[in-house]
Amino acid sequence: MRSEEEEIIRRAKKGDTTAMAQLFQQHYSFLYKYLLKVTMNKAIAEDIAQDTMIRCMENIGRYNGSSSFSSWMITIATRMYIDKVRRRKREQKWILNEQIQGIRKMRWQLESRNEDWSDFMDSLSRLSDDHRIAILLKHYYGYSYEEIGDMLGVPAGTVKSRTAYGIKTLRKEMSNND
């Protein structure tokens, strides 16, 4: 580590906000570019870079100089990203479980009233939200691709492809059920 950077770190550890700002100014670009490559998502990279800066400010006293400051920042950022991915996976599992329970409840309610839960509803429940929503809005509620695109904040062409793919998947599943 350069002695100039060592001095800046020493001052930052003592609470010198100007020194802390200098450190971040020197290393932010390196950190952000690293996170862009790791996340492949500009918004996530920006969020994690900002969270890393905050974590570094909170823990500057723990920096012991055994690695370069930029390596220390990258270690923190990497751990934060891994934690975010793990959290997202847990959330997705929870959402999926909620959907499965909701489908079971809906099916039970229909069957308990002697209404039919069709193979079609079963197949529809297995589509992704994107495909199911596009099909329902287009073919059950009669919205145009442009209207659906406006509702969902996506291009009409995306809606069209989601609808087409969803219908293709439904047809395939329905023919397998016969």
Give the residue range(s) of CATH 1.10.1740.10 domains in the chain. 3-88
pLDDT of residue 155: 95
What percent of the chain is modeled with pLDDT above 90?
43
What residue type is assigned to position 119 of the chain?
D
What percent of the chain is modeled with pLDDT above 70?
84
- CATH classification for the domain delimited by 3-88, as one of 1.10.1740.10, 1.10.443.10, 2.40.37.10, 1.10.10.10: 1.10.1740.10
Tell me the three state secondary structure of residue 18.
Answer: helix
Give the residue range(s) of CATH 1.10.10.10 domains in the chain. 118-178
pLDDT of residue 115: 56
Higher pLDDT, 106 or 38: 38
Q: How confident is the model at residue 3 (pLDDT cuts 50, 70, 90)?
A: confident
Asked if 177 contacts 123 with a C-beta cutoff of 8 angstroms, the reply is yes
For residues 119-143, average pLDDT: 80
Secondary structure of the chain in HEC code, one letter for each residue: CCHHHHHHHHHHHCCCHHHHHHHHHHHHHHHHHHHHHHHCCHHHHHHHHHHHHHHHHHHHHHCCCCCCHHHHHHHHHHHHHHHHHHHHHHHHHHHHHHHHHHHHHHHHHHHHCCCCCCHHHHHHHCCCHHHHHHHHHHHHCCCCHHHHHHHHCCCHHHHHHHHHHHHHHHHHHHHHHC
Q: How confident is the model at residue 104 (pLDDT cuts 50, 70, 90)?
A: low
pTM over 0.75: no
Average pLDDT, the chain: 85
Which of the residue ranges 8-12, 37-41, 97-101, 124-128 would you say has the lowest mean pLDDT? 97-101
For 118-178, CATH gives: 1.10.10.10
Region for 165 from its dihedrals, namely left if φ exceeds 0, alpha if ψ lies in -120 to 50, beta otherwise = alpha
